[in-house]
Amino acid sequence: MSIAQIVESVVDGPLPLRVEAYDGSAAGPDASPVRLRIENQRGVSYLATAPGDLGMARAYVVGDLTVQGVHPGDPYELLTTMASLRYRRPGREQVLELSRMLGLRGFTPPPPPPQESLPRWRRLAEGLRHSSTRDAEAIHHHYDVSNRFYEMVLGPSMTYTCACYPSADATLEEAQENKYRLVFDKLALKPGDRLLDIGCGWGGMVRYAARRGVSVLGVTLSREQALWAQKAIAEEGLADLAEVRHSDYRAVTETGFDAVSSIGLTEHIGVRNYPAYFGFIRDRLRVGGLLLNHCITRPHNKHTETGAFIDRYVFPDGELTGSGRIITEAQDVGLEVLHEENLREHYAKTLAGWCANLVEHWDECVAEVGEGTARVWGLYMAGSRVGFERNEIQLHHVLAAKTDATGHHGLPLRPWWSA
């Protein structure tokens, strides 16, 4: 039995693409425009010792599994082709044949690629998973790759969150500007107001609001993001209104803010920490102050693991839940939820734009961070696009207000913003 035949035998149903292997074997439709090639024995060992997305990712990142017919900066066509694949347990015959081919050493897991973050939290008490130290390490793994790399992939806005497209033909930059406009308007901000932006990234929302006369404090756990944002604030002459701190949001002691924006932070804090998270926000707002929580969600509220590839290569310790859980937790600390909406399709378009940027700047990105890391990003962004398109993940805005003891918040009648 050949390697390609073994691969074919563990797929439930016909192979939707061509699979080729270093032993000269092949399986699947010969006319397939997308072809997977297993380049060497180590690639087989990766697949055999970590079945599923983790083994494939390891082999792909190190170049032991290559793809013909798609660009590594945007393997969207490959992932849509594979999205419906279902695997079955290899039978005794396949295991014996693999053992004969690989020998005992072949069933020893090869060292994981250097881009992989080992899940050290699994050996710690659950309560330590989202300690300030562990959160800082997780954020460093993902966000401190290289500011130059992010500039090439994200574009001039340096915005690494879902855009909001005003029209189907809008550019990525127009959509990111529109997203900030929408958040600003939902928060009913005006000159002289005070905004706290937690998880501020490279300061996109901070600078957008400051340009419009709002006093803004942004905080991020990424040192590289903070340095980039501080430089951008100085260059734009916004230092009298805008500040970005390299800090855990839990270290902010100021209160009385007119609004809090949290754009892409909730995914990192852990569901069990939601009561403390929303309680922190409530305590930073004045009565009548508003929260806009923007985060990736699931289409349900059941506990679901993020998957080994995302957990180890992209968002260590990341955790997603449904908008219902987010709304419930905000309500349970006393915030009044006023509005929510799902921008799922907008994130699929955003990711397509980022992948296009990665393809356009592929050689420069590889020179900046190495081919393995660039492959991780192409795989992760294209895979996330598929997830949003298939409604496996969503993006929700939740708008909430802090009321006084009698339930009043002093806000105008809805709606005070436009879509």
The pair phi, psi for residue 246, each rounded to 5°, is -85, 95
**What tens digit of pLDDT does each residue of 102-160 get?**
776 767 889 999 888 766 544 444 445 555 555 545 544 445 578 999 999 999 999 99
The answer to whether 304 and 365 have CB atoms below 8 angstroms apart is no
Q: What pLDDT does 52 receive?
A: 79
Nearest to 247 by CA among 280, 274, 217: 217
pLDDT band (50, 70, 90) for residue 312: confident
pLDDT band (50, 70, 90) for residue 313: confident
Nearest to 46 by CA among 113, 145, 99: 113
Q: With 90 as the cut, is the pLDDT of residue 97 above it? A: no
* Eight-class DSSP state of 214: -
pLDDT mean over 65-84: 94
Q: With 60 as the cut, is the pLDDT of residue 358 above it? A: yes
Q: With 70 as the cut, is the pLDDT of residue 44 above it? A: yes
**3-class SS letters over 76-111:** HHHHHHHCCCCECCCCHHHHHHHHHHHHHHHCCCCC
* Eight-class DSSP state of 241: T
Q: What pLDDT does 6 receive?
A: 84
- Top-level CATH class of 133-402? alpha beta
Q: Where are the domains of the chain?
A: 3-106, 133-402
Q: With 70 as the cut, is the pLDDT of residue 3 above it? A: yes
**What tens digit of pLDDT does each residue of 273-304 get?**
999 999 999 999 999 999 999 999 999 999 88
The pair phi, psi for residue 84, each rounded to 5°, is -95, 5
Report which listed range, 75-84, 99-108, 246-255, is most confident.
246-255
Distances (CA, A) of 202 to 99, 136, 199, 246, 375: 50, 16, 9, 11, 23
Distances (CA, A) of 15 to 8, 34, 353, 366: 7, 12, 30, 31
**What tens digit of pLDDT does each residue of 314-348 get?**
877 789 999 999 999 999 999 999 999 999 999 99
Nearest to 247 by CA among 196, 205, 187: 196
**What sign for the dihedral angle of Cα 104, 106, 109, 114?**
positive
Of residues 191 and 308, which shows the higher confidence score? 191
Is residue 6 within a helix (H) or strand (E), and if so which, with residue range? helix 3-9
pLDDT mean over 198-223: 97
pLDDT mean over 401-416: 92
Instruction: Return the beta strands (E) in 210-315 as ranges.
Output: 215-220, 242-246, 257-263, 285-297
Average pLDDT of every residue of the chain: 91
Q: Is 158 left (phi over 0), alpha (psi -120 to 50) or beta?
A: left
d(CA 43, CA 3): 11
Nearest to 298 by CA among 385, 388, 206: 388
